[in-house]
Amino acid sequence: MKKPVRILFVCLGNICRSPTAEGVLRKMIVGTPLENKVEIDSAATHDYQVGAAPDARSIDHAARRGVDLTSIRARQVVTNDFRQYDYVLAMDENNLAHLQAMSPDRHTNKIELFLNYASNKTQNQTRLEVPDPYMGNAKDFERVLDLVEDGCAGLVQHLLDATVKSAPKVKA
C-alpha cells in the first residue's frame, strides 16, 4: 500500500455502532503491517447527534475490551466522503440504502455492508447487519461488539491479503 487505505464506518447517529467499529479497527491494526497505513473514521447518515460523544454504554462496553472511544465525536456523512474514502461500510441495510442514494454514481462501488467482511456471517445471524443497540440493554451492546470484532477481523485479513497481492515481486 503506497497511500493509506481510508475506511469510513457509517450508522444512523454515529454514537453506537460506527464509533465502536472505528475504535475496534484502530486497536486491531496496532502492531500489524497495516499500522500507519490505514486511516479510519466514522459518521452518521443523519444529523441527530453531530458533535456528541459516543453513547456512554458503547464507551463502557468497549473499554471492558480494551477499546477507547472517548476521543470520537459524531459527524454526518458529506458528499466529499465518497471521494475521500476507499471503503464506506454501512452497519445495516437502511444506512446502506441512504448512502447509495446520496453517493455520486462513480463512487457507489465503495459502499457495502460492513458485515460482508465477518467470518461468522451465518452463525446466529439471518441478516448481515449490526443491530442498533440504542434502545436495548447491556446484552445488545455486547452483541454489537461481538459482531464488530468479527467484521473488523475479516476486514483486517482482507486488507492484509490486498497488501500481499500488491507487493512488488522479488526477482530470484
Could you list the active site residues?
11, 17, 132
> Which position has the grid cell 497505513?
37
Strand partners, 153: none
Burial label, 116 (beta-carbon count in 10 A; 0-12, 13-18, 19+): middle
Closest CA to 147 of 7, 24, 42, 10: 24
Number of H helices, E strands in the chain: 5, 4
